[in-house]
């Protein structure tokens, strides 16, 4: 029945000290910390922390956004904690899922976060539909057939490197390879 802390900042320039001090002040037995974006799917120290936690332990964080920035991350994480009998304590919100109020609050926050994500997705879809109705398709403009022919010709001449072809045509290395691979498929 240990208290295990997790601290995270998004950039290397930020400092973990204040979070670590808060986690120590509430009696964390061990603290995992890292400097990585909350949007990243792979967060090594969070994974290590979750592996370390056992039934009846409490994961302690300073703020909810330390765990994740997306609804999906938070929902998956809360389900993992619940499935493994691990409680969650959020210091700045005075929330602890050991009590009924903490559980309902966390459930409601997850619900609001999911609602927000759904509304954002809905607004994005409506915006894209509106743009399409005005003739806008989005994305990068396609390269001209003339440029495609130039890339193929330069590549097959075996005179120029990919970097030289990039400079001559003004397109990325990926685009050059896509053009060449598409040309191979068509022949």
What's the rounded Cα separation, in Å, for the pair 118 and 169? 42
Cβ atoms within 10 Å, residue 100:
8
pLDDT score of 118 more than 90: no
pTM: 0.58
62-95 core/surface letters (b: 16 or more CB in 10 A; e: else): bebebbbbebebbbebbeebeeeebbbbbbeeeb
pLDDT tens for residues 1-21?
899 999 998 777 788 999 999
Would you give the end-to-end CA distance of the chain in angstroms?
Answer: 66
Among 1, 99, 121, 112, which Cα is nearest to 64's? 112
- Whether the CB-CB separation of 66 and 93 falls below 8 Å is answered with no
Active site residues: 10
pLDDT tens for residues 21-75?
999 999 999 999 998 875 666 788 999 999 999 999 999 999 888 887 676 777 7
Percent of the chain with pLDDT over 70: 94
């Amino acid at each position: 029945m240990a208290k295990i802390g997790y601290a995270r900042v998004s950039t290397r320039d930020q400092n973990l000290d204040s979070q670590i001090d808060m986690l120590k002040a509430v009696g964390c037995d061990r603290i995992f910390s890292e400097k990585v974006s909350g949007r990243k799917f792979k967060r090594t120290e969070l994974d290590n922390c979750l592996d370390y936690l056992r039934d009846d332990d409490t994961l302690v964080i300073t703020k909810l956004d330390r765990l994740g920035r997306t609804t999906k991350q938070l929902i998956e994480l809360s389900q993992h904690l619940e499935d493994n009998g691990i409680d969650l304590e959020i210091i700045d919100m005075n929330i602890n899922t050991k009590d009924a109020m903490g559980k309902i609050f966390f459930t409601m926050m997850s619900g609001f976060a999911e609602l927000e994500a759904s509304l954002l997705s809905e607004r994005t879809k409506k915006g894209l539909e509106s743009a399409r109705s005005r003739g806008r398709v989005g994305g990068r403009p396609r390269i001209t057939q003339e440029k495609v022919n130039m890339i193929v010709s330069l590549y097959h001449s075996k005179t120029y490197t990919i970097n030289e072809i990039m400079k001559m045509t003004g397109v990325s290395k990926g685009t050059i390879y896509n053009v060449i691979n598409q040309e191979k498929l068509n022949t």
